[in-house]
Amino acid sequence: MSAPWVYIKDLKDHVGETVCVKGWMYNKRSSGKIHFLQLRDGSGTVQGVMVKAEVPEEQFAAAKALWLEASLEVTGTVRADDRAPSGVELTVTDLKVLQNPTEEYPIGKKDHGIDFLLDQRHLWLRSSRQNALMRIRNEIIWCWRKFFHDRGFMLMDSPILTGSNGEGNDGLFELDYFDQKAYLAQTGQLYAEASAMAFGKVYCFGPTFRAEKSKTRRHLTEFWMLEPEMAFYDGKMNMDLQEAHVKATVAHVLENCRKELEVLERDTKPLEAVLAGPFYHIDYRDAVVKLNGLGSDIKFGDDLGADDETILTQQYDRPIFVENYPRDAKAFYMKQNPADGGETVICADLLAPEGYGEIIGGSQREEDYDKLVARMNELKMNLADYDWYLDLRKFGSVPHSGYGIGLERTITWICGLPHIREVIPFPRTIYRIKP
């Protein structure tokens, strides 16, 4: 009878039993009489010890002939071993080789440049560092869905193929859609607004696309964004929700991903600090003054540049809301501030500390039909493309607010990485569409 298949992460519950591990060999050391096979199966890693005297001769020879990343079914007895990272070792009694490569694994021991590694992304994902990053991504997505589900939000997916774009005409991916033009969604927001009028509190979560020409450490051309939209929420309630959402995310990762943060050598103190008090709020006008004092030449009317966000967020130990940007720096749908005659809008970007910068863009939306149309005309937008969106202001319009949080920006910050490209399984950037 064959031994039961057990995932490596569960081996510790099977000490003394004979089990089968199915996976890949990521490393091997040998003496003349023993092979030490380093095995991984996606759930963890374990060392398999094969002693020449204890297995058939042809099996010992087969193990000797293995190349890195050979796929295997390894049967053995689980032994407790305090020195092993997984707490156990496998004494190998039987080895079945599913496929043995006939050439050297491209990602060996050597240090490789980032371009090479990105070319090998389909294989690079097998490394322990990438395993840790993808597990954290997986946990954050789970946490986000649960956060909104628990608060009574409906998941309402927005389309990816759209005829009306939400964030202006820059950075649009255009494609032929039969005899019309279509665009890949830059945002799901406009549809989330329609959904919020149907369900009250909703969110959409999916890939969004920006044909960003900029090659920066913060930009992907395809990234995932979660966008909540809430009827009857003002700007303040919107920010309170964002703070709860971001704190829940950090707390979840600290609670569930300690091992992964260790693999990444992430100092967790700055993350703990995020939970230690309320987020900061600064008015855009004050941010400009502060930035000028820090050496930036930003002036009223400009959006904060990446460098501005870096130097500003280095001043704080928790995330900062920058509020009330000038109207012309932001999208058409934002509600104008009655307090200054509409020179600014009721919006906030949430900037992550430690130099990371914007992870959320949010605002209260203009709910007044006439004001919205006037603004769209000012921007020379084609109203016919947005007739359905304008209907939301004709049939039971209500104050409403929402935001968009970038998944990859959030992971990059929480993991303390210098660049966004490693936190999505297959990154798309201006120079990269393969693999």
CB of 325 vs Mg ion, minimal distance in Å: 9
- In terms of CB distance, is 274 or 405 closer to Mg ion? 405
d(CA 214, CA 225): 19
Region binding Mg ion by CB under 5 A among candidate stretches 88-96, 147-155, 255-263, 360-368 = 360-368
Binding mask 194-223 for Mg ion (x = CB under 5 A): ------------------------------
Separation of CA 382 from chain center: 34
In the bound complex, what is the minimum distance in angstroms from residue 349's beta carbon to Mg ion? 6
Question: Which of residues 63 and 359 has its CB atom nearest to ligand 4AD in the complex?
Answer: 359
CB 16, CB 77: distance < 8 Å? yes
Nearer to ligand 4AD, 39 or 190 (CB): 190
* Per-residue tokens: 257: 């991903």
For residue 127 the two structure tokens come to 């490394």
Pick 48 or 235: Cβ nearer ligand 4AD: 235
Peptide bond into 435 cis (omega under 30): yes
And the tokens for 37?
Answer: 């096979």
Pick 219 or 266: Cβ nearer Mg ion? 219
Q: What is the dihedral angle through the alpha carbons of 115, 117, 118, 122, rounded to the nearest 10 degrees?
A: 160
When CB distances are held under 5 to 8 angstroms depending on the partner's kind, the choice from Mg ion, ligand 4AD, none that residue 406 binds is: ligand 4AD
Instruction: Kindly determine how many residues on this chain lie close enough to bind Mg ion according to the rule CB under 5 A.
Output: 1
Shortest CB 237 distance to ligand 4AD, Å: 14
In the complex, the smallest distance separating the C-beta of residue 358 from Mg ion, rounded to whole angstroms, is 6
Taking the least distance from each CB to Mg ion, the nearer of 44 and 361 is 361
Q: How far is the CB of 222 from ligand 4AD (least distance, A)?
A: 8
361 in contact with Mg ion (CB under 5 A): yes
The token duo for 39 is: 């095995």
Binding site for ligand 4AD (CB under 6 A): 166-167, 187, 189, 210, 212, 219-220, 223, 225, 227, 358-363, 402-404, 406, 408-409
Partner from Mg ion, ligand 4AD, none contacting 323, C-beta within 5 to 8 A by type: none
Q: How far is the CB of 368 from Mg ion (least distance, A)?
A: 23
Q: H-helix or E-strand containing 236?
A: helix 235-256
Choice between 69 and 358, CB closer to Mg ion:
358
Residues 6+ apart with CB under 8 A from 268: 254, 261
How many Å apart are CA 347 and CA 102, to the nearest integer? 58
CA–CA dist 113, 239 (Å, integer): 40
Q: At what angle do helices 235-256 and 128-150 cross, to 10 degrees?
A: 140
> Could you give the 3-state DSSP secondary structure of residue 69?
coil
Q: Which is nearer to ligand 4AD, 59 or 195 (CB)?
A: 195
Alpha-helical segments (H) within 56-182: 57-64, 114-119, 121-124, 128-150
Residues 6+ apart with CB under 8 A from 116: none
Q: Of these partners, ligand 4AD, Mg ion, none, which one is at the site of residue 210 (CB under 5 to 8 Å by kind)?
A: ligand 4AD
Cβ at position 217, least distance to ligand 4AD in Å: 10
Contact 338, 328 (CB under 8 A): no
Q: Of all residues in this chain, which one has the CB nearest to Mg ion in the complex?
A: 361
- Residues near Mg ion (CB under 5 A): 361
